[in-house]
């Protein structure tokens, strides 16, 4: 289980990550591009993922991962905070950040 506060800490620990709301959700961004967004009730987070990873997550644990219709074309998976392991969430957020961050920032992150 991960709390919304723990999610915030994980997301904002990534280099140059910041939070700016949109659509009534807390959206986590790097260079103003969204890599994750927390639902208004703090129950779930939508995270940017590669298509093959998204299918594997949903197939492997449909109680934790899902793709609602409004995310089908957005490359996002919805993660239930009540059932996700903190380490797995941290890895997903880091990978989402990596997919979104500019190349120079990614290179600095990898070098550091």
Nearest to 47 by CA among 35, 39, 31: 35
Ordered per-residue pLDDT tens for the chain, 112 residues: 999 999 999 999 999 999 999 989 999 999 999 999 999 999 999 999 999 999 999 999 999 999 999 888 889 999 999 999 999 999 999 999 999 999 999 999 999 8
Asked if 3 and 90 touch (Cβ cutoff 8 Å), the reply is no
Give me the residue label for tokens 């490359």: 75
In the block, residue with structure tokens 């449909």? 62
Element (H, E) at 76: strand 76-80
State the residue for tokens 């998204």. 54
């Amino acid at each position: 289980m991960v709390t919304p506060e723990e999610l915030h800490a994980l997301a904002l620990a990534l280099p140059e990550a910041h939070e700016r709301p949109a659509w009534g959700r807390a959206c986590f961004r790097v260079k103003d591009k969204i890599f994750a967004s927390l639902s208004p009730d703090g129950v779930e987070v939508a995270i940017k993922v590669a298509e093959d990873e998204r299918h594997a997550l949903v197939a492997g644990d449909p109680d934790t991962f899902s793709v609602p219709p409004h995310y089908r074309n957005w490359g996002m998976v919805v993660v239930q905070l009540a059932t996700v392991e903190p380490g797995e969430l941290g890895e997903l957020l880091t990978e989402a950040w990596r997919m979104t961050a500019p190349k120079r920032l990614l290179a600095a992150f990898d070098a550091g």
